[in-house]
Amino acid sequence: MRERNIDSRLNWTNNMNYTNLIKTSLPHLIDNGTISFSVPLSRHSSFKIGGPAEIYCTPTNQAQLIELLVFCLRKNIPYFILGRGSNLLISDKGLPGMVINTNAYTKITKDDNYLSAFCGVSLNDLCDFACEHGLAGLEFASGIPGSVGGAVYMNAGAYEGEIKDVLYCSKCLSPTLESLTSKNPIIHLKAAEHEFAYRYSALQSKNLIHLSSVFKLFPDSPESIRKRMDALNKQRWDKQPMDLPSAGSVFKRPEGHFTGKLVNDCGLRGFRIGDAAVSDKHCGFIVNLGKATADEVLLVIRHVQRTVSERFGVKLQTEIRMLGDISVDNFDVSHPVSVESLQHSPGSNLSTNFKAARTTHGIPQPQTPRPSTFVVHSAEKQETHLKPNMAESTPNLQTHLKPNMAESTPSLHPQPKRNSVSPKKQSNHET
Ligand SMILES: Cc1cc2nc3c(=O)[nH]c(=O)nc-3n(C[C@H](O)[C@H](O)[C@H](O)COP(=O)(O)OP(=O)(O)OC[C@H]3O[C@@H](n4cnc5c(N)ncnc54)[C@H](O)[C@@H]3O)c2cc1C
């Protein structure tokens, strides 16, 4: 059984080699470090799983992003927009075509009670910035290891809060040649136009690329905000396997149930195939105990889905997004699977395995809450092609609110950019 093209925007079955085409057509973007080749995506996924991206790009401004997209559309090259890679399972075979990582597209701007952030800003940096400037409302998001773009796209949420509660408006691109080559390619979305629902935004169905958003917050003391963020982070570290590579909750919450309880009640706590295992700390998470492959993770997912369905009649749907050619060919999942028959090291002590995995990943042993910080052990900083500065201006509120939004918001007077920082420079909390 093969699983392909789960993300609707992709056509990964196309096995053409695009490297030479890029080398001859976009040398300026190679020379300035925006494009590199054959970059392991395991370095850019919180699961630490994924083969090479044939072409890997880190645009630092809107013009570069548009240039890359237009090139892909003209040449029929498949592309994928990658945020912090914290909600993805990527094939070990890698991805042909272009992966466009937004990580270098970062800037936060403050205007009164509003914060504007580019898509590549990490949520943790945004939360820290809000806290330092005495703006409350984003505490729920502190500890979610995604980017602003990924969080808006997914309507990320936790602890009774969701992006939809604080989002004021966004700027997006529509990836069509007609739109991208038009005089004004920016699409402005008001809050309601995102059509937010549980882990859903209209960006998914409308195939939009997120550029930046404005968040409407409210004043509070930095001390109180920090206290709330620390308390939520502590809860996270107490209840979730933050010390092992994962992609967070694998499944969407089924109505009327808790995934973790269903999985636990099926006896699947610690269920393991190869190095992919149901977390011993939170049964809604699958963790990478060392060298897990995407195929192994998928097999654990399918086994959990099937077992929960048979036992409780509940269909678990995946929240994580799967990319590329992920296969469960090597395993027979058409018959009941016993934990013993599939565990690579049957009889081995489960907690020893989890402990060993933490050592393998150079991760401290658990029970050490990391207030306000989440560490995805990403190799982002090692990439020499990441550039610190953006030539482009920050997403100022005036531009966002054109043409008719500013009218309804008296507090948004045109103001010079102030408190505009690059979060990378400002914070040590880069994931
Ligand atoms: C330990 C852990 C805990 C987590 N806890 C939570 C939680 O409490 N709540 C929660 O909601 N999630 C949680 N997650 C999941 C994840 O962090 C969120 O879904 C996050 O919003 C994904 O953002 P990202 O930048 O990593 O996106 P990615 O994983 O890189 O991408 C996810 C999807 O978003 C799309 N995307 C990313 N950027 C853009 C853009 N600029 N424009 C268009 N599309 C884009 C991608 O194409 C992809 O389809 C957790 C993950 C981990 C590893």
431's CB contacts (< 8 A; 6+ apart) are: 84, 122, 124, 145, 374, 375, 376, 378, 380
For residue range 266-306, list pLDDT tens digits in order. Answer: 999 999 999 999 999 999 999 999 999 999 999 999 999 99
C-beta 210 within 6 A of ligand 1 = yes
Which one is predicted more confidently, 384 or 128?
A: 128
- Every domain of the chain and the residues it spans: 9-101, 108-232+375-383+397-426, 243-360
**What is the per-residue pLDDT for 327?**
77
**CATH 3.30.559.10 is the classification of domain 243-360:** no
Active site residue 249: yes
Instruction: Give the model's pLDDT for residue 347.
Output: 38
Residue predicted with more confidence, 288 or 14:
288
Give which of 304, 132, 281, 142 is closest to 220, Cα–Cα.
132
Please state, in angstroms and rounded to a whole number, the distance separating the CA atoms of residues 173 and 196: 18
Q: Which atom of ligand 1 is nearest to the CA of 7?
A: 49
Is any atom of ligand 1 closer than 6 Å to the C-beta of 242? yes
Q: Which of 87, 95, 155, 200 to mutate to test the pocket of ligand 1 (most atoms within 8 A of CB)?
A: 87
The pLDDT, as a whole number, for residue 130 is 98
Averaged pLDDT for residues 29-39: 95
Distance 426 CA to ligand 1 centre (A): 22
| Ligand 1 proximity of 151 Cβ (cutoff 6 Å) | yes
Going by CATH, does the domain composed of 108-232+375-383+397-426 fall within 3.40.50.12660? Answer: no
Mean pLDDT of the region 174-198:
96
Q: Is the dihedral of CA 253, 141, 89, 116 positive or negative?
A: positive
Residue 17 binned pLDDT confidence (cut-offs 50, 70, 90): confident
How many A from CA of 147 to the centre of ligand 1? Answer: 7
pLDDT in tens, 56-78: 999 999 999 999 999 999 999 99
Pocket test of ligand 1: the residue of 41, 118, 153, 242 to mutate, having most ligand atoms within 8 Å of its CB, is 153
pTM for this predicted structure: 0.80
pLDDT in the model for residue 388: 25
Residue pointed to by tokens 């004004």: 184
Convert the pLDDT of each residue in 248-271 to its tens digit. Answer: 999 999 999 999 999 999 999 999
pLDDT tens digit sequence for 358-397: 555 555 444 433 332 222 222 222 222 222 222 233 444 4
Q: Give nearest CA residue, ligand 1 atom 37.
A: 150
pLDDT tens, residue by residue, 81-106 = 999 999 999 999 999 999 999 999 99
Mean pLDDT of 299-327: 94
The arithmetic mean of pLDDT across residues 312-322, rounded, is 95
Residue with the smallest CA separation from ligand 1 atom 52 is 248
Least trusted range by pLDDT, from 56-70, 315-329, 411-425 = 411-425
**pLDDT of residue 308 exceeding 60:** yes
- C-beta of 245 in contact with ligand 1 (< 6 A): no
Distance 141 CA to ligand 1 centre (A): 11
Domain topology for 9-101: 3.30.43
Measured in Å, residue 258 CA sits from the centre of ligand 1 at 21
- Exactly one of 43, 199, 302, 358 is catalytic; which is it? 199
Specify whether 2 is catalytic: no
**Is 199 a catalytic site residue?**
yes
Q: How far does residue 78's CA lie from ligand 1's centre (Å)?
A: 20
pLDDT tier for residue 328 given thresholds of 50, 70 and 90 = confident
